[in-house]
Amino acid sequence: MLLDIVQVGDPVLRQRARPLSAEEIRSDGIRKLIADMRETMRNAPGVGLAAPQVGLSLQLAMIEDREEWLEDVPAEKLAERERGVVPFHVIINPKIAASSQECVDFFEGCLSLAGFSAVVPRARHVRVECLDDRGKPNVIDASGWYARILQHEIDHLFGNMYIDRMRSRTFTSIDNFNRFWQNTSIGEACEKLDSTRRAATE
């Protein structure tokens, strides 16, 4: 069943979600929620979805970056983003146990902030400790785009959104992203936007 994706301004997106117990994770209700969220994420489409985004303040999120979604992305863009296929999986009660000091800038969007994007700095590598959809402990070491998705979804579980971390002068509508920035490297986009800021203050 497709679920409604709540939009920025809904209080549930700004709450710290509660952890799930092992008993809850194995319940029919959570099994159905996972199935419905998976269908909703794929229909959107998106590469990640957290329970608060469907109105439930629970520490549960899912990630999937499918091969067919990468087919039309130029190889140089995939390399720049360090992006590859990520099989579907669920993370429950996650915490970032370690992250690299090296940060990488890229444009991000969000299903709960439909129609917009901005450059967001994220750690290039993270180690995440969580439970899987069976309640079993799991450790995920991720780099590049996968690490970015993990950080984005875990933020949702603690009441944060990418707009809290974005480089504010890069905030753009998707239409203008496609018009002005889609074929521009991140370094060039940030340099141009920084130069307009400096010019505006001189």
- Catalytic annotation, pick one of 23, 39, 64, 153: 153
11-107+122-166 is a CATH 3.90.45.10 domain? yes
Residues 52, 173: Cα–Cα separation, whole Å = 23
Q: Walk along the chain (202 residues) and give the pLDDT tens digit of each residue.
A: 999 999 999 999 999 999 999 999 999 999 999 999 999 999 999 999 999 999 999 999 999 999 998 998 889 889 989 999 999 999 999 999 999 999 999 999 999 999 999 999 999 999 999 999 999 999 999 999 999 999 999 999 999 999 999 999 999 999 999 998 888 888 888 888 776 555 555 5
Reduced to 3 states, what is the DSSP secondary structure of residue 131? strand
Model pTM? 0.93
- Give the strand order in the sheet containing 125-131: 48-50, 60-65, 86-99, 125-131, 137-143
Is residue 153 among the annotated active site residues? yes
